[in-house]
Amino acid sequence: MQLKVYMKRKTIYSILIIITIIGFWLFENFYTPDTYSVSETAGLKTEIPINFLPSSSTGAIVEHSFYSLSYNEPFEQAEWVAYTLDKSQLTNDQRKRPFFIEDPKVKTKSADWRNYKGSGYDRGHLCPAGDRRFSEKAFNETFYTSNISPQDRDFNAGIWNRLEQQVRDWARSYDEVFVVTGGVLELGLTEIGDEDVDVPRYFYKIITKGDPSNPEMLGFLFLGKESTKPLRSFTVSIDAIEKRTGIDFFQNLPNEVQDRLEARVELDGWKF
């Protein structure tokens, strides 16, 4: 009798263990939290000046409440993410880090975050979560996988982070800056995960301030590796970034203004 009871309990425990394992597997592979997007009635949106919007090589432009992007499906990431950073948005509010989830507005489906697991690469934010602490919705929106790109861990925590902090300092000093950023998407890149997410070798960031009809602009181009060199040593012309990416970053500015501003590196007026 005792043997039968023991065998029955053992069978029940075994079944419960199997159910638990299956449950964890289903959660890990199929669970996706609700959208982070702000509802249309929320009335909260960060506008981007039309003169500062880049061209899109794919036509897959997505507008979220606090940033916009152009998604490049073959590379499974955005070719650019663009946003405005206002001085008033820079807060130290503590936010609970949410899940990374697929972007519901990317029609071709943005890459699953699990592509990054075990890859050795960080899920590197393009629009930093640290720039969007002023509201829970704004913060959470940066955790769409359309806003991340595979980055070397030391690079992400090192010089890339230093530049993000510098951009915040500029927003404090100049009241508002506009940022467009991304990885250089080109053929022959290393790929990770089941969806073959490409790992950019180079990353760029363009910061703009001032009059949208005659702005000041500064471009940066980095090899995706940590460096102790000063940030100013990575400044390049906008023309150089356009040549590498195939993107026209200030397509809505008059050609004569583009020709004048994009060909040069002008550090005057930018406090490092």
Q: Is residue 268 part of a domain?
A: no
Lowest-confidence segment of 15-29, 77-91, 115-129, 242-256 by average pLDDT? 15-29
Residue 47's pLDDT is 79
Label residue 185 exposed, middle or buried (CB < 10 Å: 0-12, 13-18, 19+).
buried
Task: Tell me the C-alpha to C-alpha distance, in Å, between residue 76 and each of 79, 108, 135, 200, 248.
Answer: 9, 9, 28, 11, 21
CATH number for the domain including 155? Answer: 3.40.570.10
Reduced to 3 states, what is the DSSP secondary structure of residue 272? coil
257 lies in the same domain as 128: yes
What residues pair up with 216 in beta bridges, in sequence order? 209
pLDDT per residue as tens digits for the range 145-204: 999 999 999 999 999 999 999 999 999 999 999 999 999 999 999 999 999 999 999 999
How many structural domains is the chain composed of?
2
Query: Any idea which residues carry the catalytic annotation?
Result: 125
* Full residue range of the structural domain in which residue 143 is found: 39-262
Instruction: Give the pLDDT band of residue 46 (cuts 50, 70, 90).
Output: confident
pLDDT number for residue 36:
74
pLDDT at 259: 94
- Mean pLDDT computed over every residue of the chain: 89
Give the pLDDT band of residue 21 (cuts 50, 70, 90): low
Task: Sort 81 into a burial class: Cβ within 10 Å, 0-12 / 13-18 / 19+.
Answer: buried
Q: Does the pLDDT of residue 29 top 70, yes or no?
A: no
Domain assignment of residue 270, yes or no: no
Tell whether 226 is covered by a domain.
Answer: yes
Q: Which pLDDT value is given to residue 3?
A: 58
pLDDT-based confidence at residue 232 (cuts at 50, 70, 90): very high
Bridge partners (DSSP) of residue 62 are 69
User: Is residue 66 located within the same domain as residue 97?
Assistant: yes
Residues 27-46 have a mean pLDDT of 55
Shared domain for 4 and 79, answered yes or no, is: no
Q: Which residues contact 79 (CB under 8 A, 6 or more apart)?
A: 56, 57, 58, 70, 71, 72, 182, 185, 245, 247
In a domain, 267, yes or no: no
CA 92, distance to chain mean position in Å, is 20
Residue 8 pLDDT: 62
Q: Quote the tokens at residue 136.
A: 């829970």
pLDDT of 117 > 60? The answer is yes
| pLDDT surpassing 80 at residue 33 | no
